[in-house]
Amino acid sequence: MREILRLSLILTLVGIVSATLLTAAHNVTEPIILERRAADYRDALERFFPGFDSFETEQLDEGRFDLIYDEDSDLMGIMATVAASGYDGDINYNLALDEEGRIIGMNIVSHTETPGIGDVIERDNFQEQFIGKSYEDPITAGEDVEIITGATVSTAAMVNSIRQTTEVAAVNFLDVEVVEIDFAEVPDGTYQGIAQGFIGPIEVEVEVSDGEVVNIEVLEHEETATYFVEAYPVIPERIIEEQSLDVDTQTGATGSAIGIVNAVENALLQALGLEDEIEEEPVEEEPVDVDIGEVPDGTYQGSAEGFFGPIVVEVEVSGGEIVGIEVLEHEDTPEYFREAYPAIPEQIIEEQHFDIDTETGATGTAQGIVNAVLDALSGALNNGGGGEEN
């Protein structure tokens, strides 16, 4: 008994000494740490809001929102500090919005995405596509912004989080009105709605009876099946149980969950006549036609936008046929570029037309090469056959 007491006392003593030391160290370092964090943050603010005077912090469930004011106390914009669930943990970032809710820029604070793959989210090319967009834009992969093949999860997470953040900021701080749906006002019937999920659109069918949502079914989606089960049927069940769209979407597949809620909202808005029915508009690519037979023999250069930058090609025409295509310059990722080159030039030369399948591992690059070749040939024709002949 004495022995046990002695040992416990010694351990307690060690613990007390250790705790004292740590408290002392904490007191010394904490003010420095806090000051440095504040300075870092002010630097970031200064970058996006030059000449700002003060800010006011609002903490929401989605993250921290700072309202930025100038000297005259006019609102300059909003700086959001939020997290997106990436491939491997949270991507913490700042999103800067101007006073009308348009994106000024973003700043990745920390992330743990795979080096060389998921860290494309830090690239300017990826981030710049969001600048100028606001809560009024779809900010949806494949519509007005692109996600990056090979890093789908990381980039889609950013797209979805940015869309959500612009909406949250607009609704909470910019007096943008939210249409509140009163289920009781919706006439009985079955309605279809659509909204962006994590990867692609989610289409739902909502059945309303006696002013209550009684059934929700997902008709179509493109989400990854193993994740989608985390959101479906849980989310529809929650909506039906609570008879509200304000349900907890924190699941193993939050992006899909939010997509389902938005699709249901879309269906009900259409039912109430508050939103036009969405017609699927297949995007028709404008066909560019170049008759290769009319191009005089020679070597021509042309360029077009690839995935990350311009692609410059040299095209050799002989006897009314393309006989050689060489890429002179490009800025695309080498690993992906290989998927399109030389496969795409070989296909063009073989088929002697441009309506070829560009669905490779690097579609953006492939399409860029085709466009660059078209550019070279149309240049050759427009210059009356002069071109840049060798």
Partner 1 sequence: MEPKNVYLQDLTRGLVKENPVFVSLLGMCPLLGVTGFLFYGFGMGVATTAVTIGGTLIVSLLRNLIPKQVRIPIFIVVVATFVTVIEMSLEAFQPALHEALGVFVPLIVCNCLILGRLEAFSSKRPVLRSVADGLGAGLGFTLALVILAFVREVLGHGTLLGPDPDTVVQLFGPNFEAMTIFAQPAGAFIALGLLLALFNMMMKRFNI
Q: Which of 6, 42, 47, 353 binds partner 1 (CB under 8 A)?
A: 6
Among 46, 74, 116, 246, which residue interacts with partner 1 (rule: CB under 8 A)? 116
Stretch that binds partner 1, among 41-49, 78-86, 107-115, 231-239 (CB under 8 A): 107-115
User: Least separation, in Å, of the C-beta of 118 and partner 1?
Assistant: 11
E strand or H helix at 204: strand 201-209
Beta strands in 45-169 (DSSP E): 54-60, 63-69, 75-86, 89-98, 103-110
Contact status: 328 vs partner 1 (CB under 8 A): no
Nearest to 92, CA basis, from 104, 84, 102: 84
Return the residue of 50, 51, 115, 287 that touches partner 1, per CB under 8 A.
Answer: 115
> Per CB under 8 A, which region of 18-26, 169-177, 206-214, 307-315 contacts partner 1?
18-26
Q: Please, are residues 290 and 382 in contact by the beta-carbon 8 Å criterion?
A: no
Q: Which stretch binds partner 1 (CB under 8 A): 21-29, 239-247, 361-369, 382-390?
A: 21-29
Where in 329-388 is the site for partner 1 (CB under 8 A)? 334-335
Residue 378: Cβ-neighbour burial (10 angstroms; 0-12, 13-18, 19+): middle
Instruction: Determine whether 194 is exposed, middle or buried from the number of CB atoms within 10 Å of its CB (0-12, 13-18, 19+).
Output: buried
**Options 4-12, 62-70, 185-193, 194-202: segment touching partner 1 (CB under 8 A):** 4-12
Beta carbon nearer to partner 1, 22 or 323: 22
Number of CB atoms found within 10 A of residue 162's CB:
22
7 belongs to the binding site for partner 1 (CB under 8 A): yes
Number of continuous H segments (helices) and E segments (strands) in the chain = 9, 11
Q: Rounded to whole angstroms, how far apart are CA atoms 274 and 191?
A: 13
Name the one range near partner 1 by CB under 8 A: 16-24, 208-216, 234-242, 268-276.
16-24
Please identify, using beta-carbon distances, which residue of 125 and 209 lies nearer to partner 1: 125
CB 203 within 8 A of CB 220: yes
Q: Which of 14, 38, 131, 214 binds partner 1 (CB under 8 A)?
A: 14
Q: In this structure, are residues 259 and 196 in contact, taking their beta carbons and an 8 Å threshold?
A: yes
User: For partner 1, which residue of 57, 110, 190, 244 counts as binding (CB under 8 A)?
Assistant: 110
Per CB under 8 A, does 38 bind partner 1? no
Longest dimension (CA), the chain: 106
Residues that bind partner 1 (CB under 8 A): 6-7, 10-11, 14-15, 18, 21-22, 25-26, 28-30, 32-33, 36, 40, 110, 112, 114-117, 334-335
